[in-house]
Amino acid sequence: MEKAAAAKIKLKTRELWGYASGEGATSITMNGIGNFSMLFYTQILGISPELVGIALSIATVWDAVTDPLMGTISDRTYSRFGRRHPYMFIGGILLTLSFLAVWFVPESFEGEKVIFVYLLIVNIFVKTAFTLFIVPYTALGFEMCKTDNDRARLQGVRYAFNMVVNILTGGLAWVLFFPDQQAANGAVIDGTKIHQNYLNMGGVLAASSLLLTLFCIFATYKYAERGLKKNEAEGMAEHVKAFMHDLKDVYSDKLVWFVFGFFGIAQFSMMVVSQVQMFTYVEYMRFTAAEKTFVHTGGMVGFMLGSLLLGTMVRRLDKKLTGYIAMVASSFGCLALLVIFTGGLMDPQAQIGSFPVAVAVFGLMQMLWWGGCGIIVPLAASMIADLSMVKRIKTGEITEGRYAAGFSFFLKAASAIGLLITGYVLKGVGYVSDAEFQTPETIDKLALMTFIIGPIVMLISYLVLRKYPITHEFLNRLRRQHGLEEEPQTL
């Protein structure tokens, strides 16, 4: 009987991947900006790294601040197309258009201050469109799942697909969009220092993002709550009260702060490492375009595999222990790179015969770091989905939008801080924008920061996760207390 009940509510694999296609659309745009905008604006347009970091972080703070508002709007929307899908459609289209503007900077815009203002304004548009899409999209995922195992499965597949797309459009971008070229004097020009390459990338990725957005809306439309009737008595005052109520409701939930704290700190470490590692590829390891592809793609594969493992790990170990294992794996990968390369055990260009052993070792250890991160990100999202379910059991309210917005807020706030800190990290190690070469001291410091920041911050995140109380048994006990059937455990 229990197996039959589980089968009825367990999401099918095609439904998981149909939903995940929306994450692919945002992966293209947000990872595209995260992977290459710092390089583009420093190496091509000559903006100082701290100014780029400030512009990106301000836009991300704006993004985070608008999330709670979007959560309230989505939860309380009455539309014949449902609560979530109209915003996903509008946000997806605007995200595509604003992403194009990141790379296609008008030629008449010259000077560091002018380009800084342009970068700031365009990224605010990008982040606004992202909020329009991602908050209702995340809430839709919460609503689709009926068990805590399915919440872990869906979030795992979601973030795995994020990395599949990131492999195709980010990892392979080094050879697809940024091949090295040869100058007239025979010197090799790194592909990331050629302006046209960024324009080619921007056009292709924008079109791909739009197609995935439209497919996601089509694939998930059957879950839309269509035909909702608007309460005509609700005016502006009621909407403001609802917004304030939703803010208080989420942020007064003590359990939420365990997840926000754990994930916010971990996300900060991922953001800093992801940004600084790009410069380590170019300056410290001196990878070729093919080697950058191998290493960068390896990290994405690691993230994808970690995400796909999440459902199995949660079913067998529960969520807290799963998080511990992920943190240990990630930290080991970075610390191993620290010992091997900055510790002098291996030269960054080491080879055995013609085999680039340094590239292989770097790729393997970085894959371990990102594999752990691939578990942590969807794990945190599934934890917030659990808390939304707890609130619904206790009150009967529709809370998925506001909890999704809260999670998105902390993700973006941590990212904003990470981007801001990255700019100052680059400045602190002595990185010079638009310079043909960096000093050896600067290059060594770049590598050191890439290898040590992640493990240090992960340790702090671990101390927060220790306090998280939600387990399978906790949820079933809560259901029994409210006269509900226990969650059948999906197989």
Nearest to 420, CA basis, from 165, 104, 53, 81: 53
Decide if 323 contacts 375 (C-beta within 8 A). yes
Q: Tell me, what's the pLDDT at 7? A: 42
**Homologous superfamily assigned to 16-221+238-481:** MFS general substrate transporter like domains (1.20.1250.20)
At 352, is the secondary structure helix, strand, or coil? strand
What angle in degrees, to the nearest 10, is found between the helix axes of 440-465 and 254-279? 160
Q: Tell me, what's the pLDDT at 488? A: 56
Q: Tell me, what's the pLDDT at 247? A: 67
134-149, pLDDT tens digit by residue?
Answer: 989 988 998 888 777 7
Give, in order, the Cα–Cα distances in Å from 418 to each of 61, 102, 286, 383, 485: 11, 20, 24, 23, 43
How many Å is the Cα radius of gyration of the chain? Answer: 23
Token pair, residue 108, equals 């008449």
Q: Tell me, what's the pLDDT at 4? A: 40
Q: Tell me, what's the pLDDT at 150? A: 85
Q: Which residues contact 298 (CB under 8 A, 6 or more apart)?
A: 171, 363, 364, 366, 367
Token pair, residue 274, equals 């992801």
**Whole-number mean pLDDT of the chain?**
84
381-403, pLDDT tens digit by residue?
Answer: 888 888 888 888 887 777 777 77
Backbone angles phi, psi at 183, to 5 degrees: -75, 170
CA torsion, ordered 374, 380, 383, 387, to nearest 10 deg: -150
What is this structure's pTM?
A: 0.70
Give, in order, the Cα–Cα distances in Å from 30 to each of 37, 91, 134, 301, 321: 10, 13, 11, 18, 30
Nearest to 153, CA basis, from 300, 19, 16, 324: 16
In 172-258 the beta strands, taken as DSSP E runs, fall at 181-182, 188-189
Burial group, residue 94, by CB count within 10 angstroms (0-12, 13-18, 19+): middle
Q: What are the residue ranges in the chain where pLDDT is below 70?
A: 1-9, 226-240, 242-243, 245-247, 434, 485-491
